[in-house]
Structure 1
Amino acid sequence: MLVWERPEPPDRPVPAPLSRDRIVSAAILLADADGLEAVSLRKVAAVLGVGPMRLYGYIATKDELLDLVVDAVHAEIRPAGDGWREALRSLAEATRHAAHRHEWFADLIGGRPQLGPHALARMEAAVAALGGVDVDTAVPAIAAVDAYVVGAVRREIAELRAERATGMDKRQWQAAHGPYLERTFATGRFPALASAIRDGTHLDADQTFRTGLDFLLDGIAARISS
């Protein structure tokens, strides 16, 4: 029986009451502060002021705990707006914002479908928002948006982590590596790339995300209208 279906132990009159919701909240607190490596049943139990063995009545493994924390973040993600395009745009933006609030979330999405109640409610809302679109177009369209968002937020989170690890923000990194690129481009081996970097518009992270999303939504619109 999956953790979503397994009942919690009955309440007991103890000094530190426990529930899955309290366990998940404590795990998210640890992950937000110090990353997934800071999350263990022992550390969660310490935050809650209970012995680690008490958690096993609610959660059998760390994998179950991670399933629960991911599902809790999915509760923050719902599509909004009128029409399928605004619904998919808001779904993408909400997922991105959730990943920036909880960096570790980007490490746990993108694999097999999440089956928790909040993740299923997110997908239900997305499919319903495309109710007027043929299902064989709607489901791949949602999957395409999700795939784009996963790739985009992982790139953004990787950049943030690199900034912390090196102490250099994006502009400082570019300034440090600029002379190397100029020397390389001067060889004439990469003319198209040199032109793109020198002459192209350099977008910030928000603009890059929204521009790429517009390209994707334009393609979906073309498929729907064909």
Structure 2
Amino acid sequence: MQIVPVPVRQDNYAYLLIDEASKTAAAVDPYDVNKVVAAADNLGVQLVAGITTHHHFDHSGGNKEFVSKFPGVPIYGGSDKIPALTNLVKDKDEFTLGDIHIKLYLLLCHRYCVGSEMDAALSYLGTLPDSTIVYNGHEYTNGSLAFAKSIEPENKAFAKLDELVKSNEIVTGLTTIREEKEWNIFMRLGNATVRQAAGVSAEASASVVMDALREKKNNFRG
């Protein structure tokens, strides 16, 4: 299996999920169809499916063009709001792409949700094996790292992330769930320093901490 990021828009990622044995691929969030097709052609793989992470336009906006270019290909997704959807999936539904076995995890939160929903989504991701490689939908690493340093300045894990950002133009696919737990502020809601910086009590619920952190992030200009 090979996963190839395709930068689209200003800070989005589409991906090619490639079965190397059959030279076939699924396009994940193919917003810019021409870029995705060019990447597939360059790698000599045939696009046979689409996977849409969620219905927001910057992720699903290329679906109609994609299916017009590749008639009959299935489009998998977890919401009936997704354009050109053919296969509505539920949490932990599975399908295959060549020799690749794919399991889909449904997270009920993206950007526009309350703290309890975002906490539930990230906690769910936190149950995946620590070795799970993380591929982002957006390239927000620089801004997220700057904000994290303002919240938890003594966190030594940030040094590795700093080095990754400085050494790689594309950071997605270079970190794991274990590392996210070490440096992703929004997965560290129980940490005393994080709670203090968020301005909440030691007894506050995780959702209260999440809401406070998100408000600080929205207003962060560092």
Q: Which has the larger radius of gyration?
A: 1
Asked whether the two chains share a fold, i.e. TM above 0.5, the reply is no
* TM-score scaled by length of structure 2: 0.32
Question: Larger % of strand: which?
Answer: 2
Question: Larger % of helix: which?
Answer: 1
